[in-house]
Structures are given as structure tokens and as C-alpha cells.
Amino acid sequence: MFNFDPEAFDLVIRHGRNSSLVMLRSEFPALVPGAQGSVAQLFQDISLYMLGSDSTVDHMVATFFGRLFPLAYRRLLGGGASGSEECVRGAWKDSGAFGPYPKLMMTRLSRSLLATRVFLQALNLGIEVVNTTNHLRPGRDCGRALLRLWYCPQCQALLGVPVCRGFCQAVMQGCLGGAAEVQPHWRTYVDGLGKLAGAMRGEQDVEAVVLRLPSMIKLALKHAVNARVRLAAAIP
């Protein structure tokens, strides 16, 4: 039986998560104790989305920055503790605290994750078909026909002996039944799968996009730090 091993995609997700934590420890060590859970949740959400979860990319990115902003506000921007957590959590959107980077992250992730999600769904569908056909067994009539086919002069390399034209093809079509009829559709499916894989380049290359997330998170946090005076005045 053939099985699909998603280890390659899992490796990309783990590397992106670990690189983000390394970046935080290096650039913003004050955030690490509280931000680890938020980073882990973001990359878990990305993984689940690729596997077909009902979440949306915009929601997972907005949730991540909503969790990150209160930490950044109090530990990086010198914000006080007077404002409620919920108030501060939602303030990053209206204040533009992280600049264009949350929107940029949403756009890039949406394109690449959707392409990967469709590819994985199509691949898993094909695997189900392959695994199903592995369990097919020829019926009694098919077995008898195959036995007769074995004694076909052409199978015995007796090419000079006249044979029933089309006998081999007729036997195989009878044994395969619907599977023979599926062949043109299967070839179309394989071609489509190849096109999907070929399209996963540039902005739809999930590996390139996920591995750039640490840099985008870093730029978003630096944008907030540079705007600390404006943010402190805008948030009560």
C-alpha cells in the first residue's frame, strides 16, 4: 500500500517556527517568555490549514498579532498596565502598530497555503484510488480468461500461429472492468497534479513564504518600536 508522508511540509513548518523563536531571542528577548505560545500557535494553525481546517489565513494572522501586541506594548514600547488586555489586544489594527506587515503576511500566506492545500487534497485523493485498486482481486471468470490468455500463441512467442485478433485486449478489458475505463481520467488527473506542483513557485512556494515569516515578524515589531511615541499617545 502506498502512503503519503507529509514530513517535508512538517519540516518546513518546524523550521519556520524555530527560526521565529531564534529571531525573537536575538532581537527582542523581552518578548520570548510570553510570545513562545503565540508563535507555536501560528505555525500550528498554518499546518492545520494546509491539511484542510476550516480556519482562514486572515484570522490566524490577526489572532497572532492580537496576542503579540499586548506583550510588545508593555515590554518594548513602555506602555503602562492601566489599559485592559482586551483593549490593548485590539488596538494594533486601528493604530497601524505593525505597519503593512500583517497584511503582507496574510496575502503571501493565502496564496501559498491555498496552493499547497489543493495540492495535498489532490494527492491524497489519488493515493486513496491507488490504495483501493491494490485490494482488487480478479473474479473467477477473469481468472479463467487469464489462464486461456497464458496459452495464447503470442504469449508463448509462437508468432507464426494465427491468433484471434484483439483477444489479449478483450481479456484485459474484461478483467479490469471499470479500471480500464478510468485510465484516460487517471492520466488527466496525473497531468493536473503535475501542473499544480509546477505552479507552486514564487508567491505560491510555501517553503519560501514560511521561511520568510521570521523576517516579516521582525520588521513588524521594529515598525512598532519606531512608532512607540505615537502608539503610547494613541492607546490609553
More confident residue, 196 or 6: 196
Q: What's the distance, CA 78 to chain centroid? A: 38
- Spatial separation of the C-alpha atoms in residues 116 and 119, rounded to whole Å: 5
Whether the CA torsion 158, 164, 169, 175 is positive or negative: it is: negative
In Å, how far are 129, 146, 193, 207 from 181, measured between CA atoms?
14, 19, 20, 38
The C-alpha cell at 31 is: 518578548
CB 51 within 8 A of CB 120: yes
Average pLDDT taken over every residue of the chain? 81
The C-alpha cell at 114 is: 491555498
pLDDT at 61 over 90: yes
- Spatial separation of the C-alpha atoms in residues 137 and 156, rounded to whole Å: 25
Q: Which residue type does 184 have? A: P
> So what's the pLDDT on residue 36?
94
Lowest mean pLDDT among 33-37, 122-126, 183-187, 188-192: 183-187
> So what's the pLDDT on residue 32?
92
Closest by alpha carbon to 2, among 189, 135, 127?
Answer: 127
Highest-confidence segment of 2-6, 20-24, 121-125: 20-24
Helices (H), the chain: 7-27, 32-50, 57-75, 85-95, 101-133, 140-150, 167-176, 178-199, 206-226, 228-234
In Å, how far are 60, 97, 117, 120, 178 from 49, measured between CA atoms?
10, 26, 7, 11, 35
- Spatial separation of the C-alpha atoms in residues 80 and 39, rounded to whole Å: 24
> So what's the pLDDT on residue 82?
55
Collect all residues with Cβ–Cβ distance below 8 Å to 39 and sequence separation of at least 6. 17, 20, 21, 24, 64
CB 113 within 8 A of CB 206: yes
The C-alpha cell at 175 is: 478483467
Lowest mean pLDDT among 32-36, 42-46, 57-61, 81-85: 81-85
% of the chain residues with pLDDT over 90: 35
